[in-house]
Amino acid sequence: MPSEIITLQLGQCGNQIGMEFWKQLCAEHGISPEGKLEPFATEGSDRKDVFFYQADDQHYIPRAVLLDLEPRVIDGILKSSYKHLYNPENVYISKDGGGAGNNWAQGYHQGDKLSEEIFDIIDREAENGDSLEGFVLCHSIAGGTGSGLGSNILEKVNDRFPKKLIQTYSVFPMTNEVADVVVQPYNSVLTLKRLIENADCTVVLDNTALNRIATERLKKATPTLAELNQLVSTIMSGSTSTLRYPGYMNNDLISLISSLIPTPRLHFLISAYTPLTSDKTESEVRKTTVLDVMRRLLQPKNAMVTTASRDKNITHCYVSILNIIQGEVDPSEVHKSLMRIRERKLAEFIPWGPASIQVALSKKSPYVTTQHRVSGLMLANHTGISSLFDRVCDHYDKLIKREAFVENFRRLPMFKENLDEFVDSREAVQQLMDEYRAATRKDYINFGNPETTQESKS
């Protein structure tokens, strides 16, 4: 019954954040790294079966599929204390082990070749559950495996399970400095097209913003990858907490997504979390009231995406907001806070729809202790995200003008004849950006309608 969700972890980045995610889930549900239920854990308050299933010996196995084209990261996982947690059958590493070489086309091509084996695993997992609700995909859009293989699998999963939801946690590359992968703008744009067309919901995790948060909020000079991944895992566990601790609202993925996404293409969500603490830092204990938490969530500096509030004379605004508040909360306080935010107009909303800040109250895991009374996660649909795509496109445009590094792509079947796919993808992203910008206007409701498209674009 319990709307199961299968997690697909792809590539280096995907596997790393996935691993942190499972660590967090295990801690929250009182499951030991071996998958055994800790003696202090009691039944009845949580639903472990959304993300786990039980083996014959009653130990919990995550509904996770680990995929990579190179063994390094997965080997690392299998050497960690969590090696017995995963179902070994669900771990798949490409036999040649060469990786995708940061080439989207390579990853995509590999996906075609390996699809049978991969989908053996995915199908088996899918059949395992009574009522599979959807997939969660963890990947980055810059590298080769996560983006290329990810795109491929995204398309295929969408084909095979048309009625299942696909939510992705997509890590966007750093854009403010020289990228460590030269072709990452290509990879990004190509992946974005698949995300636009095949995913139901994409939680955008901007590496730039993650770094910023790690340095600003956690006071780290040079944040390590593990710390960044922990941030991501916090977001992931927070956003799934209503599924795992069933309450009055948002007990399934669809209700989370559908309330946030008014129109299908505007499904790129930004997230924010407060209060942020990492294991090592003793952050000062602040007073956390619901209003404080909700107010902080609306501050751009806490958002996991760097967005511009204004660009090209457009004031960006929120399409919708979902706050997941965890901890001991007096519901009347929530109500009051909402009134306050509305009064002070702390958030700008779309002009064509109701301003909706939804609040889901979620239980806190009894096994994880925090210094904070209340913590909050915000998932928001903000039109400012187009500025992120804008940056990606900027880099892409610079490269494609010179047709730099295109040879690597031409070698693979998809681009053998022409580079149409590049053009298509770029256009898809452009359309998305236009739609986001249009969403800030009152006449958005007519957007995309052939008769009025011209006007709205102008």
Partner 1 sequence: MTGSQSALIKNLCLCYCDNKPEILEKTVNTVSHLLHAEHGNIYQDDIRLLDKIWKHFQKYGRNQEMLRFGQIYARINKLKVLKVRLETLQFLYALADTASTEHHHDSINRSMPTSSASSFDIPSFSLLSVQQGSSSTKENGLSHNSSHIKSSTSLQKLLHYSNDNETSSSSKSHLHSAMNKINEIDNNTSLQRDADESRILRELLFGMQGIETPRLLANDSNIDRCTRTLITRFLECGWLYEKIRKIINTPTSSLVAQAFIANLSSELREYHRLISVIEQQENIPGMVSLKKLHVWMCTPIQRLKCLAAIADSCHGKKGGQLLSILYMHSQHGDPLQQSILYPLLYNCTIPIRDMIVEWICNGIINDPYQEFFVSTDKMIGEEKLWYDKYTLRVPMVPTFLSMEQAKKIWITGKSINFLRVVCKDRTMLQINKTPASSQSLFQQQRSTEFQDMIISIYNETTRYLRSILDDKYQMMDHFKAIKRYLLLGQGDFIKYLMDLMENELNKPANQVFYHNLQSLMDAAIRVTNAQYESEDIIRRLDLRLMYVSPSELGWDVCCLDYKFDGPLRTIFTEENSLRYMRIFNHLWRVKRMEYTTCGDAEIRRFHTILKPQLKTIKSDLHIVKKAFRDAVLKFLQQLKFHPDITLRSLSFRLNFNEFYKVSYTSKSTA
Q: How far apart are CA 433 and CA 430, in angstroms?
A: 5
Q: Which of 87, 274, 320, 387 binds partner 1 (CB under 8 A)?
A: 320
303: DSSP letter: B
200 lies in the binding site for partner 1 (CB under 8 A): yes
Contact 235, 269 (CB under 8 A): no
Nearer Cβ to partner 1 (88/354): 354
7 lies in the binding site for partner 1 (CB under 8 A): no
Of 351, 285, 360, 282, the residue nearest 321 (C-alpha): 360
Q: Which of 44, 79, 284, 343 binds partner 1 (CB under 8 A)?
A: 44
Using CB atoms within 10 A of its CB, is residue 10 exposed (0-12), middle (13-18) or buried (19+)? buried
Contact 140, 13 (CB under 8 A): yes
Q: Which stretch binds partner 1 (CB under 8 A): 177-185, 197-205, 214-222, 397-405?
A: 197-205
Closest distance to partner 1 from the beta carbon of 80 (Å): 31
158 lies in the binding site for partner 1 (CB under 8 A): yes
**For the chain, give me the number of helices (H) and strands (E)?**
15, 14
Q: How far apart are CA 278 and CA 145, in angstroms?
A: 29
Closest distance to partner 1 from the beta carbon of 246 (Å): 4
Nearer Cβ to partner 1 (163/312): 163
Angle of helix 150-160 relative to helix 184-198, nearest 10 degrees? Answer: 10
Nearer Cβ to partner 1 (40/248): 248
Q: Which stretch binds partner 1 (CB under 8 A): 144-152, 182-190, 248-256, 406-414?
A: 248-256
Of 23, 28, 65, the residue nearest 47 (C-alpha): 28
* Cβ contacts of 388 within 8 Å, gap of 6 or more: 172, 175, 204, 206, 305, 306, 307
255 lies in the binding site for partner 1 (CB under 8 A): yes
Closest distance to partner 1 from the beta carbon of 368 (Å): 19
Nearer Cβ to partner 1 (242/271): 242
259 lies in the binding site for partner 1 (CB under 8 A): yes
Nearer Cβ to partner 1 (128/263): 263
Q: What distances in angstroms separate CA 275 from CA 225, 286, 295, 428, one per listed residue?
A: 20, 9, 11, 36
414 lies in the binding site for partner 1 (CB under 8 A): no
Q: Which stretch binds partner 1 (CB under 8 A): 8-16, 195-203, 274-282, 411-419?
A: 195-203
Closest distance to partner 1 from the beta carbon of 314 (Å): 21
Q: Which of 263, 283, 289, 309 binds partner 1 (CB under 8 A)?
A: 263
197 lies in the binding site for partner 1 (CB under 8 A): yes
36 lies in the binding site for partner 1 (CB under 8 A): no
47 lies in the binding site for partner 1 (CB under 8 A): yes
* Cβ contacts of 45 within 8 Å, gap of 6 or more: 245, 363, 366
354 lies in the binding site for partner 1 (CB under 8 A): yes
Nearer Cβ to partner 1 (128/258): 258
39 lies in the binding site for partner 1 (CB under 8 A): no
162 lies in the binding site for partner 1 (CB under 8 A): yes
Nearer Cβ to partner 1 (86/135): 135
145: DSSP letter: I
148: DSSP letter: I
289 lies in the binding site for partner 1 (CB under 8 A): no
107-146: contacts with partner 1 (CB under 8 A): 131
**CA 62, chain centre distance (Å):** 18
443: DSSP letter: G
Q: How far apart are CA 267 and CA 204, in angstroms?
A: 10
Nearer Cβ to partner 1 (101/353): 353
Q: Which stretch binds partner 1 (CB under 8 A): 67-75, 226-234, 244-252, 396-404?
A: 244-252
Using CB atoms within 10 A of its CB, is residue 410 exposed (0-12), middle (13-18) or buried (19+)? middle
Q: Which stretch binds partner 1 (CB under 8 A): 217-225, 254-262, 281-289, 403-411?
A: 254-262
Phi then psi for residue 178, to 5 deg, are -65, 125
Q: How far apart are CA 132 and CA 3, in angstroms?
A: 5
Q: How far apart are CA 57 and CA 38, in angstroms?
A: 14
355-374: contacts with partner 1 (CB under 8 A): 356, 358-359, 361
Nearer Cβ to partner 1 (7/242): 242
* Cβ contacts of 433 within 8 Å, gap of 6 or more: 386, 389, 390, 393
Q: Which of 43, 282, 284, 343 binds partner 1 (CB under 8 A)?
A: 43
Point out which residues bind partner 1 (CB under 8 A): 1-3, 43-47, 131, 158, 162-163, 165, 197-198, 200, 242, 246-252, 254-255, 257-259, 262-265, 320, 330-332, 334-335, 353-354, 356, 358-359, 361, 445, 448-450
